Amino acid sequence: MNEKINTNETKDLKNKIVELVIPKNGSVKNDVLSGLTVALALVPEAIAFSFILGIDPTIGLYAAFIMGIVTALLGGRPGMISGATGSVAVIFAPLVISKVQTSGMESALGYLFIAVLLMGILQVFFGISKVGKFVRLIPHPVMLGFVNGLAIIIFLSQIGQFYGADGNLLPWPILSIMLVLIAITMAISIFLPKITRAVPATLVAIITVTIISYFLNNAGYTVLTVLDFIKSIEPLKTTLAVSMPSFALPNVPLNWDTIKTVLPYSFLAACVGLIESLMTLRLIDELTETRGRSNKECIGQGIANILNGFFGGMGGCAMIGQSMINIRGGGRGRLSGASAAVLLLVFIVWGAPIIEMIPLAALVGVMFIVVIGTFEWSSFRILKKIPLSDAVIIAVVSIMTVVLDLATAVFLGIILAALVFAWDRGKDVWASTKSMKNKKVYMLHGPLFFASTSKFKDLFDYENDPIDVVIDFNKSRVYDHSAIEAINTVAEKYTQHGKQLHLLNLSKDCDKLIKKADNIVEVSILDNLIWHVADDKLE
């Protein structure tokens, strides 16, 4: 009997593991092949983001591996790819640069790793506090602006590949070959899926263009590769090969002064990382018609960054470009993200010579395809069909994402959307009236809150109304302190004219709100209103 129970428990455990790794609508083949494509695209970006910080590319590659494997297994969105990102690198860059100038590179890296570690702790705290649910407050126009802005950023990040180390445009022979190879990559990526989806089109494109470039190089033509890109960043570096990441405590004093130094950077990076991750999660939810778990993703991101701090990574978050490559390549399960991370580690530790051969044109072409797929072209079509305010929000968020940063753009978009909503709802308050000899009832319609208080106070005829005035809230609600103050102002004006204000049909929460502020609002609250036509009394 016990053996039977143990057998059933083992089967249940196996089923859970299979369900964790492979979704019902996915496959091992698609996940692994898509992960392979993502791994190839992760290499140059991880190196480029390391360059933003002015640190060894190995630190960016370690971050890409750690972020990818941990979030794939522990995150809340199967199929989403995380790694070293430019948004996080830009935040930590001032910290690293300042410490390099004052204390040297070794000390700067110690502060970087402590900052990444603290960033991860904050993200875990945000996840436990269920901050992730607030992503639901992001309006759709903000989402469109976010997507469009990121697409533009991805596009602009690839333009630098057309320039040499001296800042000038590449020589025409090299540039022309690069443009042709980019065109071939994009053509395969666009048209192959119309013929077959047995293998990811982007992977076929990378392999095909790599083979073409091999023969072109042998024929005497110059084709820029990943190795050339590495040398442009670190002239003394002759190979991509690195060792396995190893555990080490950050080499800085662990005291309050250190925490005060890195905390502002860590907090901002934690916020930016989670915003970018949760926005990417929401986008993938829409593309796959499934639902990820935002709070679990916050915790997964945090654990990944904590490990980055201990294993020498620069930290990161979700990557919309690589996530789009994965989703469009058929990757749906956790296996796709885990495969991308593991294959990346294999490439950089054992397969560096193969990665070094990949032409930059192939990777640029893949990223251009991502730009085309990421940008919401429908936003142009709907501009004339949506309110002007929504169109402005889309444009502002798109521009601010490019000019400033993702977090600022999203916060600004949410604030603009909230102000527009408050302004529009503030105009909805109005009242119908019913009068008799010595009393008048105002039937209030619409919400009473800070944006509608001015119009609310203009609804009443303080001088000509009868002695008893009733505001019926049966079709209205009192929402905030501004509304209470507005009611008190109306009551005071009636008192100045020798009249009394009564409130009728307050909902339970509104009644509780009013009574809690009884030292502010001095009005009578009626339970019901009885009209006696004969003697015209208000009871």
Whether residue 259 is contained in a domain is answered as: yes
Whether residue 13 is contained in a domain is answered as: no
Q: Which two tokens stand for residue 286?
A: 């829409």
**pLDDT higher at 299 or 329:** 299
Q: What is the pLDDT of residue 438?
A: 79
Whether residue 255 is contained in a domain is answered as: yes
- Do 455 and 519 sit in the same domain of this protein? yes
Q: Is 536 helix (H, G, I), strand (E, B) or coil?
A: coil
What is the overall mean pLDDT for the chain? 82
Whether residue 61 is contained in a domain is answered as: yes
- Do 185 and 225 sit in the same domain of this protein? yes
Whether residue 85 is contained in a domain is answered as: yes
**Band of pLDDT at residue 375, cut at 50, 70 and 90:** confident
- Do 437 and 393 sit in the same domain of this protein? no
| Contact between 520 and 432 (Cβ < 8 Å) | no
Q: Is 317 helix (H, G, I), strand (E, B) or coil?
A: strand
Residue range 484-513: mean pLDDT, rounded: 82
Residue-wise pLDDT for 47-75, tens only, equals: 767 767 777 778 888 999 999 999 999 99
Q: What is the pLDDT of residue 340?
A: 92
Using the predicted structure, report yes or no on whether residue 87 has a pLDDT greater than 80.
Answer: no
Residue-wise pLDDT for 420-445, tens only, equals: 888 888 888 899 898 877 789 999 99
Using the predicted structure, report yes or no on whether residue 121 has a pLDDT greater than 90.
Answer: yes
| Contact between 300 and 75 (Cβ < 8 Å) | yes
Nearest CA to 452 among 489, 427, 420, 416?
427
- Do 130 and 95 sit in the same domain of this protein? yes
Whether residue 152 is contained in a domain is answered as: yes
- Do 394 and 431 sit in the same domain of this protein? no
- Do 395 and 348 sit in the same domain of this protein? yes
| Contact between 133 and 294 (Cβ < 8 Å) | yes
Residue-wise pLDDT for 130-189, tens only, equals: 877 776 677 888 888 877 887 887 788 788 888 887 778 989 999 999 999 999 999 998
Q: Is 49 helix (H, G, I), strand (E, B) or coil?
A: helix
Whether residue 419 is contained in a domain is answered as: no
- Do 215 and 118 sit in the same domain of this protein? yes
**Band of pLDDT at residue 504, cut at 50, 70 and 90:** confident
- What domain range is 498 assigned to? 427-526
Total domains in the fold of the chain: 2
DSSP state of 432: E
**Band of pLDDT at residue 125, cut at 50, 70 and 90:** very high
Q: Is 515 helix (H, G, I), strand (E, B) or coil?
A: helix
Least confident of 391-395, 473-477, 519-523: 519-523
- Do 163 and 241 sit in the same domain of this protein? yes
Place of tokens 């991750």: 277
Q: What is the pLDDT of residue 71?
A: 94
**Where is the domain boundary, 401, 436, 462?**
401
Using the predicted structure, report yes or no on whether residue 44 has a pLDDT greater than 80.
Answer: no
Least confident of 69-78, 178-187, 410-419, 505-514: 505-514
| Contact between 74 and 89 (Cβ < 8 Å) | no
Distance CA 297, CA 131 (A): 11
- Do 271 and 305 sit in the same domain of this protein? yes
DSSP state of 531: B
**pLDDT higher at 397 or 373:** 397
- Do 371 and 440 sit in the same domain of this protein? no
| Contact between 34 and 200 (Cβ < 8 Å) | yes
**pTM across the whole model:** 0.70
- Do 385 and 351 sit in the same domain of this protein? yes
- Do 369 and 333 sit in the same domain of this protein? yes
| Contact between 160 and 51 (Cβ < 8 Å) | no
For the beta sheet containing 439-448, the strands, ordered from the edge strand earlier in sequence to the opposite edge, are 430-435, 439-448, 468-478, 500-504, 524-526
Nearest CA to 119 among 305, 341, 254?
305
Whether residue 408 is contained in a domain is answered as: no
Distance CA 364, CA 181 (A): 10
Q: What is the pLDDT of residue 86?
A: 75
Using the predicted structure, report yes or no on whether residue 537 has a pLDDT greater than 50.
Answer: no
Distance CA 363, CA 209 (A): 10
Which CATH number do you get for residue 454?
3.30.750.24
